[in-house]
Copies of this chain bind each other. A is one copy, B any other.
Amino acid sequence: MINETYKQRLSAKSVIRELSEYATARGQEIGYDNVFDYSLGNPSVPCVPEYTEAVIELHQTLSPMDLHGYSPSLGNTEVRGIVAHSLAERFGIPYETEHIFMTSGAAGALAHAIRLVTQPGDVVLTFAPFFPEYIPYVNDTGARLEVVPANTTDFQINMDAFCEMLGPEVQAVLINSPNNPSGVVYSEETLRALAKILYAKAEEYGHDIFLISDEPYREIVFDGATAPYPSRYYDNTLSCYSFSKSLSLPGERIGYIAVNPRATDADILAVICGQISRGIGHNCPSSTVQQAVARVIDKTSDISIYERNRNLLYEELVRLGFEVVKPNGTFYILPKALEEDSVAFCKKALKYDLILVPADNFGCPGYFRMAYCIDTEKVERSLEALRRFVQTEYPN
């Protein structure tokens, strides 16, 4: 019989999907160029030309058997070595091939990481604001996601609430920095404090607590800064990566887990991931895509457009009187709405062809998210709509 649990999910309405459908429909009326669609986190810059060249060259030079043959279930061994070497160079952590497990994007990485360090019934903690897909990602493994309330002052971590919620049933903590939806990068201070608490509680409870670090936006950081790398601050860290954003390859489904070499059982965690794959139908990402990203491992697409967009939007939002934390990475911003009910706020914005997403599902009611991975020219045109919206609907 058809599984009722999954079937019933179809009746749950997705706010983002509804907004996106509205945007598409409105686009057909007035031209999509005139709809200021800030709803979707789809990269808006092309991949580096070297990636395209790498794929073509692989097809022209390798034998089809070598290019398209089964790769080992942990991923192409040479590619794993290249990833390990690149991370070791960048972050000063002695990663080796054995610490890398290739995955189908960050979703694939998280599906393995969560199963790796939890049993059904365990609790995984994450921090608001958070990516709402974490709910099925965690809960469908049999573990249970609990959410630490947001620190809305600066969208770093609410440490008091975290300490209170970090009971012995918590086996893993899931972070996402640079963060979707706030755009904020966790500071060194935050990561040090987080690690200190995790070490203390792990000792108190007499069991490991793993840090699962979801890092698809790692390279998208502004003002010449780099994002502090969580694994440098806490040994039991599983870094979950996707090339979707840095290389603008979201459709290719390519990423990895990097196990900190000082983690418990670090030498076998990737091998255990291979066991997890069998039950979830994973069997490693495309052999061609693995080999192609390995050839452009330290490159990124031209992500400067996101910083320009951030500057334009942040300045206008501040001018218009919004309470807003300045994002220092990603392509998201999370201002406070101008009325308590952010769903109502976002609905009113539609009249001005502004597609904003209420952040209730991100664990931040009263706030809204803008995904500014769109052309700068469109961001510029949207500012006038934003001004009219605010001045008309929320005078003085």
Contact = CB atoms under 8 A, between A and B. Distances in A.
Given A1-B117, A1-B208, A52 B46 contact: no
A242 to B, nearest CB: 10
Give the interface centre of A5, A210, A283 by most chain B CB atoms within 10 Å: A283
A6 B276 contact: yes
The 10 closest A-B pairs by CB, nearest first: A140-B279, A111-B281, A251-B287, A46-B64, A136-B278, A280-B280, A108-B281, A107-B281, A286-B286, A70-B250
Interface in A267-302: 268-269, 271-272, 275-276, 278-289
A279 B137 contact: yes
A85 B63 CA distance: 31
A161 B221 CA distance: 63
Interface residues of A, number: 77
Contacts of A89: none
Copies of this chain assembled into the complex: 2
Interface of A: 1-7, 9-10, 42, 44, 46-47, 52, 55-56, 59-60, 63-65, 67-71, 103-105, 107-112, 115-119, 133, 136-137, 139-141, 171, 207-208, 210, 248-254, 264-265, 268-269, 271-272, 275-276, 278-289
A285 B253 contact: yes
A290 to B, nearest CB: 8
B70 A47 contact: no
B272 A6 contact: yes
B47 A2 contact: no
Contact of A140 (B112, B137, B249, B280): B280
A139 B278 CA distance: 10
A266 B287 CA distance: 33
A67 B47 CA distance: 10
B279 A136 contact: yes
Given A9-B275, A252-B287, A282 B2 contact: no
A39 to B, nearest CB: 13
Given A46-B65, A252-B287, 18 more contacts: A1-B117, A1-B208, A2-B208, A6-B116, A6-B275, A7-B265, A7-B268, A10-B272, A47-B64, A65-B248, A68-B248, A105-B281, A105-B283, A107-B283, A108-B282, A140-B278, A251-B288, A286-B288
A1 B287 CA distance: 31
Contacts of A139: 279
Contacts of A104: 104, 253, 281-283
B52 A59 contact: yes
A250 B283 CA distance: 10
B2 A251 contact: no
Contacts of A283: 104-105, 107-108, 253
Contacts of A64: 46-47, 52, 248
30 contacts: A1-B117, A1-B171, A2-B116, A2-B265, A2-B272, A6-B116, A6-B272, A10-B272, A10-B275, A42-B69, A46-B63, A52-B64, A56-B59, A67-B251, A68-B248, A68-B250, A69-B251, A104-B281, A105-B283, A107-B278, A107-B282, A133-B278, A137-B281, A251-B286, A252-B286, A253-B284, A254-B286, A280-B282, A286-B289, A288-B289
A210 B70 CA distance: 30
A325 to B, nearest CB: 27
B137 A278 contact: yes
A110 B117 CA distance: 25
A9 B171 CA distance: 21
